[in-house]
Homo-oligomer: A and B are copies of this chain.
Amino acid sequence: MARSAQEQRNLDLVLAMFREVLVPLDSAPVDRFIAADYIQHSPLAAPGRDALKAFLDEIRPSHPDAEHNLKRAFVDGDHVVLHYHVRRWRDDPGMMVCDIFRVADGLIVEHWDVIQDIAPAGPNPNPPW
């Protein structure tokens, strides 16, 4: 069940983007990871790479305590999946996120996400991660 060398490169690209862009909410390295014409499917985001950079620039100053805790990551061919917990501020119960990325020629070219707020209490004592 080994990953191919190409799959490992695709996974490494997305993990580096997670560490350098999403965790610090930093738009500066975006062009090294995301293609100019990438296809955005997130319902929260305006389409296009520039919109992503503008979004990061907008939220970074107001979220100095944001935390992104990666729980698991998968790669299958040209698709990479990340499952992580985001806290936007201290004491935020946060959200679970599933991001799906498609990689081509060493850049992220397409993105989908599913985001769900952490439920305050419910029928399941197991954590959602």
Contacts and interface: CB of A to CB of B under 8 A. Distances in A.
A116 B115 contact: yes
Interface stretch (A19-27, A29-37, A68-76): A68-76
Given A98-B98, A114-B115, A114-B116, A124 B74 contact: no
Interface residues of A, number: 43
A43 B118 contact: yes
Contact of A1 (B77, B81, B119, B122): B77
Nearest to A116: B114
A40 B126 contact: yes
Contacts of A97: 114
Contacts of A47: 124-126
Contact of A76 (B39, B76, B115): B76
A40 B124 CA distance: 8
Interface string A70-109: 0010111111010100000000000011101000000000
Contacts of A126: 39-41, 47
Interface of A: 1-4, 6-7, 39-47, 51, 72, 74-79, 81, 83, 96-98, 100, 112, 114-116, 118-119, 122-129
